[in-house]
Every structure is written in C-alpha cells, then in structure tokens.
A and B are shown apart, each in its own frame.
Chain A
Amino acid sequence: MRISFKWLQQYVELNASIEDVAATLTRLGLEVESIELQGKGLEGFRVAEVLEVKKHPNADRLKVCSVLPAAGQEPLQIVCGAPNVAAGQKVILGVAGTTVPHNQHDPEGKPFVLNNATIRGVESKGMLCSGKELGISDDGSGIMVLDPSAVPGTLLTQHLGLDDCSLEIGITPNRPDCLSHIGIARDLAAAYGVALKMPNGTLNEDATRPVTAVTSVEVLNAADCPRYTARVITNVTVKESPEWMKQALTAAGLRPINNVVDVTNYVMLEYGQPLHAFDMDRLEGKRIVVRSAAAGEVFETLDGKKHTLSGTELMICDAARAVAIGGVMGGANSEISPSTTNVLLESAYFLPTSVRKTAKRLGISTDASYRFERGIDPNMTQHASDRAAQLLAELTGGTVAAGIIDVYPSPIQPRTLTVRVNRVNAMLGTELSADVVRRLLTSIGIAIKEEATSGTFTCSIPTFRPDIEQEIDLIEEVARLHGYDNIENKSSGEVVFTAPDLREQRVTELRRWLESNGVSEIITNSLIDRNSAALFSRDLVSVRNPLSAELEVLRPSMLATMLQTVAHNFNHSAERVHLYEIGTVFAAAGGTGFQHYVPGVGERSVLGICLSGDAHSLTWHEKQRKVDIFDIKGLVTSLLTGIGLDNSNLIYYNAPSSLTEMTIGIEINGSYVGFIGRCRPDILKRYKIDQDVFYAELDMNSVISEGRNKRYREYSRFPKVVRDVAFIVNSGVSVASIEQQIRTSGAPAVTSVTLFDVFEGKSVGEGKKSIAFSLTLNATEKTLTDAEIDAVLSSVITSVTDTFGATLRSL
C-alpha cells in the first residue's frame, strides 16, 4: 500500500518527522518498506525564462540563448540543441554543479554533473532540460516548457508541487482496514494519542429528484452481495481532475484518468471502499440487477479481455445484460467515457470468499478485488458513497439525486468479544492493569461495553476489523499497541534436559567420515523433467502446476539430480568429482523403505555418493589414475565400519540393475540397505557424461537406526605369525570365495586374511590368475608351535586346492 504523507495528515495531526512516523508504523506492524521523497534528484533545478534565441555561429542545429535565472539577475548565455526552444518560454534551468538524473546521450542513462563549457566556440553557463533528463516525463525530444505563470527563480520541485513523500507500507492480509489512508491514520492516531479527523464535506442533494425515481436496484444473490447501494449524479462534465486530486493520486501510486474515475479511486484510497461508476445512459432500463452469472456466459471487461463464466461469478447487470463482475472489474459496455453525462455510483459490500474465487478463477486482480477479498467494512458503504457523491458534484459540476438506494437486508452487526485482563498478562508475560488494557483497546475504536466482573471486558469490535475474531486477537492488539519492545525478553530460568539425538549424531558422524575421506557434500534440486525421471523409475510423483517442464517430477533417485552436478563439473573442466548428498527421493507407490505420510506419495531419505574422474588430485608420490569400482566399494565398506556398522554383508549380482552395472547389494543384519555400482552408460549418455561414474546409495533410515553396541572381544596376547600363500586358479574363480574358504578352513588359528597381490600373465598360464594372501595366525591361549602352524597352513592349502582346483604357487 502506497500512502501520501501529505494526504495522510488530513486525518491525523502529526507533529513528528517522516522518519519517526515510519518507525512508529513499523512498530505497529505496518511495516514501512520504503520512503520516497518526491522531487528527489531535482533539488538543484529552477524555473527560468528564455529571453532571446539566436543561431549558433558554428553549428546549424545549436542555438545560443539568453536565459533569465531569476528576476533582477544577470541573464546567462546558454547553448541549447532543443528544436523547440523559443523566446518567452518558461523552462527548467540547471547550472554548473547540478546533477542531471538521466543522461539522454548515454546508453544506460547514467546521471552526470553539469559544468560550464565552451560548445563549438561559444560559452555555455548551464543547461535547459527535457522532462526525460529529469525523469519527470518520457519526452526527450525537446526541452520541457512550463506553464506561462511559472516564476523564474522558483525551485522546480516547488513549482511542480513535489513536496510530498510516499510511504510504501507492507499490509499483512489480516489488516484490510489499513488498505486506506483513514485506516492507517487511525492506528497512528492511537499511537500518538491524538484524535482521528474524518473528512467533512457537505453533500448537496437535489431534493426535487429522489434517486428512487431515476433508478432501482434488485439483488438476487444476497449471499454473495450482502449490501448494494446506488446513487445517481446527473449532468456531469468528464474532464481532467484538479491538481490537488492528481497529486494525491500520483503520490499514492495511481495514474489520474478523469474526474469521475479519479473520485472513485480517491475515495477507495481514503476509506478503503472500492467504488464503481457506470455510465448510466448505457445501462439498459437504467437499473441494476445483481445476480449470479449464467454458465458459459461471456463477458468483456473494460481492459478488453473476454471471459467465459462458470456460473458462480457474481454479476452486476442492467435490465438486459451484465455490466460488471461484482467486486472485480467493470465492463467495457458501461464504462465512463468523455461523453458521459449521467453516472450511477455503486458502493457495495461483496462476500470476500466469493470475490476471491472469481478473481482467482478469472486470473484478475484489481485494487477492488484485492480489498473485497480481504474484507472491507460493510458499514462504511454509505459513508464512502456520500463522500464520492460530494466530490463528484464538486469536480464534475453534476447534480446528486436525493437519497441513496441501499439494499442491505441483513445488516452485519459488530462482533462482541470478551477479553480477560489476566489472560492478556498470562499470554504476554506482562503485568498490565485493567486501565491500560482498556485505554489501548478503546484507542483503535473498540468499544468496551461493560465490565461485568472485575478484569473482564466485553468489547464491541468495529466492523472495519474483521480480523478480530476471538480473545487472542484482542490480546494481540494490546501487545501491538503496548509495544513489543515494552514486553520483557524473558530468558527461561528452568533447565530443560533433552536427551542427545542419536540419529542426528550418526548423521553427523557419517558426514564427517565422508568429508574426511575427500567426498564433498552437494545439495541439488528435487524436481526434474519427465523424460529424465523415466530413466530411473516408472513410479513417479509429479507436480500439477510446474514452473516449467524441466521441473515437473519429484526425483525418483538421488542419482537423477546428482548426475546433473557431475555433468556440470565435467563441463567446467573438473578432474576429480567425488560428491555425496543426503536428501529425499519420491515414489507414488514406493517399495521397501518408503514412508507414506500422505496417501499416494512415498518418501525415503537416502545417501547418494558419486565418484568420477581422477581417484586423487595430482601428486608427486602417487600415479594418476581414474576411479574404479574398488574406490567406491572401498569407500562404502570402510564407511560402514567407520560409523560402527561392521556387520554388513555384500551381495554380488551378475546382471545390471536399472541404474548400475557391476552392482553390489549391501545388507545389514539381513536387511537390504543399499547398493554400489557403475552407472549405466545409457543413463550417462543422457546427461552427456563421457566418463565412468561410480555410484552408491544407502537408505539413511536403516543406516542411522541400526544398533551398534560395542562389545569387547578378547585378542591374543601371544606372538602372531604371518605367512603368505599364493594360488594359481582359473580366472573365473572369485577372490571372495577363496578368501572365505581360507577363513573357514583356517579357523580359529587364522585370524586375518588379506589379499595383497593379484596377477594374470603368461607365467601363470592362459586363463589363470595368481592370487596371494597374507595370513595372520595366532591363538588366544598360547604361542603356536611351528608344527601347529604348518598343520593349519597345510589344511588351508589342501582345502583351497581341492575346492577350486587351485595349485599352490611358491613364493
């Protein structure tokens, strides 16, 4: 809401600076977002008179002018290029040192400072300005010529009446009363402890012509139109409004149109009551019928747009057809034109939800609908109509027919609420007395009707405050008017113990582990396009009203958005892309791990890890290489043990999954928690990634909720013996199976088995590989003898050679 500071002061006497008023408004909850001084940047410019214009001796397009800066002063010589400059004009003069707000010759229009200059050999002591240069009009074709009555030497701002300032105030949806100057003045009057002054004009009516004789109003849908009033003003002359009206509207952010429309806008900004003026002669039967639209009815609003109506809209009609969408916008068929002579003035109260539904459905938002849907005062209807009629008579020379037609079958009464002073203090943590509470509430027009028991007030809530619905709303009014700053900042004395959140700690542990191991966290968007989403799943959740087709579907997999980041980084020459993200993935049906908080949508929190590009940064001590499956496998398996989950089990799949090849499933305590693999090339191609991307995904809920009670296991206090063994086996035999065989056959003496070499080559034979393990042997109760060690080793070797057809390779 844009407020004129000058206009505001018609209703409240403020002996305070604009800054103080702005701070007060903000403290009242009417946040001042900006203060705009009119004429800002025009301070140095004055009215001047052109005395004489001569040709420039050295340039055809330039003129040399003699300009009078002020009566009694020496004329100045000024070189001017404007085609329209002529002797006798009153013009705008800027002299050396003044900043011109807009440079017409600069592509960006940057401001510049005037200097005395010599232009083509002729001295120039200033500049005559165009409206565009000063930012007061769009016309840059020539200098701005002022009214002949302008007095040379006068400040331009003073001449133009630019001595007002505008306040931009953020009005929250609960305060429709403050969408007007009077509404804001009311709160200010309360805050400054001064009286609110309502406008006082005298409305002269033509007693010989009662309004009922010239028109009638019939309301067929009283539910959506609880009150409708009409007045008639005849013999109006449509023309430009006077300066004061134009300045007031401009300062409040509205463009003046003509005196009739301006009056309706002025009264709307004054009282908050939207009004509509019809050209009465264009109303069939010169009467009004308020009804619901017919389904399929087409209506053209005054902005020239045609709307097909659904049947629920409230229409203002004449005897034959619709002439306005109630509370939203008037029709082209009845709008005020320069030739209008008779006006029917509507002032009504429309049901907020009805106006809102209509405005939403038709996609129209006007100053009127904005106010109606928030709820105007149903009992202000006639005051606003009277005020507008009075101004119309004054500004248009028209005659006001006597009386008003007021269809208001069920008057809306002020709400009655009870407020308990002890409740006020209990909610706010204050110790306000009953007198203070009473004073604060009455200061904004709330009538306190009785005080049945001490400390309990019965309040009559004026109908301009539809937001005050219950006791708590009155408590808020007390808090607001008392001042939030005057309420203590209480630091709770009591100690509240909250047990540490183990799940939260585990997430932190996991993040730290990944970051310490060179993996960086990313945060990606959760909406993607449908085609990309289809690569990952058919079980999708999509948004009905997306911003764009690129952001239509909720990600079914973390990989879907992580790959966007991988691609971005490779496109920007990254070499090592090691990333993780913890976030939500979505599915309509959703399998294991998905939680259905609402029907039809499953959500799951997952950890995604992508490793791609170089395994490590370039160093002098390690050979450069690309990441491979063992990087991600090693990362994930050591991550799991690193955060205390040492009971994971890996499952090796032969076939590719929908996302990855070389897929390894991960189980913890027998339940599936995630997988590791290399992204499928068809998916990578879609993201235009031409490097391998290794991906792991873990279900966060499983990872952080699995128990990990640490228990001590006895370790041997006797010397350990380390022995290396190597086998030659067929290439198809897996290392994991041999390792498992060694563990089983060597138990319990073999306490650890570590693969340390794998070798394929001619020396071991075609289709064969050599696999070398380092075995640690010891016992908890004694030192193993050489004979015992040899016995264990020989049983391990026999077991492996028998099971896998392996041969022992001498080391």
Chain B
Amino acid sequence: MLDHSITELRDAIGRDLPSIASPDDLERFRITYLSRSGRIAALYDTLKSVPKEEKPRYGQLINALKQETEQRFEERKQEIESRATAARDAVDITMPGRMRDKGTRHPITRTMDEMKSIFTSMGFGIVYGPEVEDDYHNFEALNFAPHHPARDMQDTFFVKDDLVLRTHTTPVQVRVMKDRPLPLRVIMPGRVYRNEAVSARSNYFFHQVDGLYVDKHVTFADLKGTLVTFAKNFYGSSIQYRFRPSYFPFTEPSLEMDITCFLCAGKGCRICKHSGWLEVLGAGMVHPNVLRNCGHDPESVSGYAFGMGVDRISLLRYGVDDIRIFFENDIRFLNQF
C-alpha cells in the first residue's frame, strides 16, 4: 500500500519537474511536494499507520525520496535562474557607452601650465600684472633710455603718450621688486603685444612667462643651472643646449638659450632656419640700474631674470604650422587636445 504511494509520488515528481519553466512553477512545485503541507510530508504522516517492524524501511524510502526530490528541485531551480539571467543579458554590448562630451584645454594654456608646474616645483611663486602699462614700468625702469634703439626691439602699441600695451611681461618684475620683500622668487605669465604684422609665424599678441630671483649672492652660474634644470624637465633630459651672449637693456650680462631643434634633431630644417638650433629663452643678471630703480642696493643684493615665449614653443610642440590657428579656435582643432 505505502510502497505503491511512494512509487506513485516519485512518478508524479518525475513528470512535474521537467515542466517547471518559471519561478512561479518552481514555487508551485515546492508547495505541492516539499512544503510542510506537501505530499512528501503527507507520506510521513501515513508512516504512523504502518507496523512497527516495517517503519525503518519505509522511513528510509521516504527519506530517500525527499532527498532525491530536494536535490532535483535545487538543480532545476538553478537552471531556471541562469536561464532568466541569460534572458536579461540579451543586449548588444557592442553598442557605444553613454558617452559624455569632453571639453579640452587650449594648447597654449597646456604649455603654460607645464612651465608653471616646473617652476613652482623649483620654488617659484606666480604673479600677474596689467596688460596696459605705463612707459615707466614697460621701459624706463627696465633701463630702456628714451630715444634708445633698444626700443626698436619691441614695436609698441600706444594707448596714450605714456601708456602702452605691454611689450613683455618684464614690467611685472618692477612691480614685484617694489612691492614685495626679498628674497623674491617668482614667475610672471601673461599676454603681451607687439605692433607687428600678423603672419603664419608671428602674431600681434602672444604669451610669455618671465621669471625673477633676487636675493643675496645670486650668480650667473645659478641662472645657468636653473635654466638647464628647466630645459631638461620641459624639453626632455636628452636635449643639447647652448648659451649665447646677448643683449637686453634690463639684464647684464645677458644670454639667450638655444636647444637643438627637436624637429630635425639638429640637422637643420626650415623651422630652425637650417641652423639646427631653436632659440627658446632670453635671460641675464638683473641690471644694477633696474635694482636701483626698484629700491634695492646692487652692492648687497643681486638677481637673475629670464623670459620665454609660450606661443612659439606651443607651435613646435604640437606641430602646428600657422600661429593663427591657435586663435581661430576651430572646434576641430580644439578637440585634438
């Protein structure tokens, strides 16, 4: 009698299991067979009415059926769940992600940022000054005598007789030397103007970074060391460089620094005018007249100053062949940075 019931239940389970297709079917199956009020539990109830000596055998049979059913249910359950996951994942993951539109930083700012970060890590602070300057700060205090040919080195836009669009960032040196206590170690980035015709290689405004260090016992050797450190960090440690004596009214001795042309590796090309060298900066010891004009005694303090153009260097670094492209700001250009 009980043997028959067990066999019948096993058959029913065997029929129902394969037809389970959804989580709902699973639950229905669990309630029908495996729950406390399910059919297997009911078999245990009928155990009460079998003779005592037969109880262990039937008990084992029912236990076996229960274990077997639970195991097969578990397997079926996992199968159903993994099938559901597969269905949920049936998307084309080759479709593009939800992209964000990117904004870019202008290449000139990028170059400027790199210069700033090298100099700030060398202990230089950053200061800014006005773009419209008076003759005093732009020229006179910097030892440009009135009616001196040195003024021809910088074609000037005039706002008034004694007001100009600054031709270099060097006037900021005068402002900081007058305003701030020594020692002074700063760079001065900014926009400058020259009254020159616009062409592929020159523009009427461009950007400069000036530097200044004034303290006791600052030497020309310190200047050279600083410039070499900068150049090796900015242009790469393998570059070759040279220093040439030069002339700026506000420094003495003055120098210009050239590095090997990185476009032709010094062999000579159109960009370096076949010299193999690129002029990258001008520098020198702050002229005693300038120190005096700013209220310092050249016998007790000394300093060095340097200045470099940002636009031309950006031109070379990014392989841009016409400086005007920088200020056209075409989105197809900007998106490349």
Report the separation of the CA atoms of residues A762 and B233 in the bound assembly, to the nearest whole angstrom: 68
Is there contact, CB below 8 Å, between B327 and A524?
yes
Question: Of residues 248 to 293 in B, which have CB atoms within 8 Å of A's CB atoms?
Answer: 252-256, 273-275, 285, 287-288
Is there contact, CB below 8 Å, between B331 and A574?
yes
Chain-B contact segment, one of A204-212, A274-282, A511-519: A511-519
Is there contact, CB below 8 Å, between B221 and A488?
yes
Is there contact, CB below 8 Å, between B335 and A520?
yes
Report the separation of the CA atoms of residues A427 and B218 in the bound assembly, to the nearest whole angstrom: 7
Report the separation of the CA atoms of residues A500 and B125 in the bound assembly, to the nearest whole angstrom: 8
Minimum distance in angstroms from A336 CB to a CB of chain B: 29
What 1/0 flags go to A235-251 for Cβ under 8 Å of B?
A: 00000000000000000
Is there contact, CB below 8 Å, between A492 and B288?
no
Report the separation of the CA atoms of residues A518 and B102 in the bound assembly, to the nearest whole angstrom: 4
Report the separation of the CA atoms of residues A373 and B148 in the bound assembly, to the nearest whole angstrom: 8
B residues within 8 A CB of A617?
99, 101
Q: How many residues of A contact B (CB 8 A)?
A: 95
Report the separation of the CA atoms of residues A357 and B149 in the bound assembly, to the nearest whole angstrom: 10
Chain-A contact segment, one of B28-36, B81-89, B154-162: B154-162
Minimum distance in angstroms from A28 CB to a CB of chain B: 7
Residue of A nearest to B253 (CB): A476
Q: B116, B149, B217, B226 — which one has the most chain A CB atoms within 10 A of its CB?
A: B149
With A427-B302, A542-B159 in contact, do A29 and B225 touch (Cβ < 8 Å)? no
Question: Of residues 31 to 53 in B, which have CB atoms within 8 Å of A's CB atoms?
Answer: none
A residues within 8 A CB of B246?
29, 31, 172
With A428-B220, A488-B224, A522-B106 in contact, do A569 and B331 touch (Cβ < 8 Å)? yes
* A227 within 8 Å of B (CB atoms): no
Is there contact, CB below 8 Å, between A543 and B165?
yes
Is there contact, CB below 8 Å, between B225 and A492?
yes
Question: Of residues 295 to 337 in B, which have CB atoms within 8 Å of A's CB atoms?
Answer: 298, 302, 326-332, 334-335
What 1/0 flags go to A496-509 for Cβ under 8 Å of B?
A: 11111100100010
* A672 within 8 Å of B (CB atoms): no
With A175-B247, A353-B147, A520-B334 in contact, do A487 and B221 touch (Cβ < 8 Å)? yes
A residues within 8 A CB of B64?
none
* B118 within 8 Å of A (CB atoms): no
B residues within 8 A CB of A526?
131, 191, 205
Report the separation of the CA atoms of residues A175 and B163 in the bound assembly, to the nearest whole angstrom: 29
Report the separation of the CA atoms of residues A173 and B302 in the bound assembly, to the nearest whole angstrom: 24
Question: Of residues 724 to 781 in A, which have CB atoms within 8 Å of B's CB atoms?
Answer: none
Is there contact, CB below 8 Å, between A516 and B103?
yes
* A578 within 8 Å of B (CB atoms): yes
Residue of A nearest to B145 (CB): A353
B residues within 8 A CB of A174?
150, 247
A interface, by DSSP: helix, strand, loop or mixed? mixed
* B100 within 8 Å of A (CB atoms): yes
- Contact among B108, B288, B335 with A470 in the assembled complex (CB-CB below 8 Å): B288
Is there contact, CB below 8 Å, between B328 and A484?
no
Is there contact, CB below 8 Å, between A173 and B247?
yes
Is there contact, CB below 8 Å, between A547 and B245?
no
Is there contact, CB below 8 Å, between A584 and B220?
no
Residue of A nearest to B128 (CB): A605
Question: Of residues 79 to 114 in B, which have CB atoms within 8 Å of A's CB atoms?
Answer: 95-96, 98-106, 108-109, 113
* B71 within 8 Å of A (CB atoms): no
Minimum distance in angstroms from B220 CB to a CB of chain A: 4
* A266 within 8 Å of B (CB atoms): no
Is there contact, CB below 8 Å, between B147 and A26?
no
Report the separation of the CA atoms of residues A583 and B106 in the bound assembly, to the nearest whole angstrom: 13
Chain-B contact segment, one of A5-13, A93-101, A322-330, A596-604: A596-604
* A216 within 8 Å of B (CB atoms): no
A residues within 8 A CB of B245?
27-29, 476, 479-480, 484
Known contacts A525-B204, A598-B132; 7 further A-B pairs (Cβ under 8 A): A34-B274, A426-B219, A429-B222, A473-B252, A543-B157, A597-B129, A619-B99
Q: List 17 A-B contacts (CB under 8 A).
A: A174-B247, A426-B302, A472-B285, A484-B255, A488-B224, A511-B109, A521-B106, A523-B108, A523-B326, A526-B131, A526-B191, A527-B204, A541-B159, A545-B195, A547-B198, A569-B331, A572-B331
Interface positions of B (Cβ within 8 A of A): 95-96, 98-106, 108-109, 113, 116, 120, 122-126, 128-134, 146-150, 152-153, 157-160, 163, 165, 183, 185, 191, 195, 197-198, 204-205, 217, 219-222, 224-229, 242-247, 252-256, 273-275, 285, 287-288, 298, 302, 326-332, 334-335
Interface positions of A (Cβ within 8 A of B): 26-29, 31, 33-34, 172-175, 352-353, 356-357, 373-374, 426-430, 470, 472-473, 475-476, 479-480, 484-485, 487-492, 495-501, 504, 508, 511, 514-527, 541-547, 551, 554, 565, 568-569, 572, 574, 576-580, 583-584, 586, 595, 597-598, 600-601, 603, 605, 616-617, 619-621
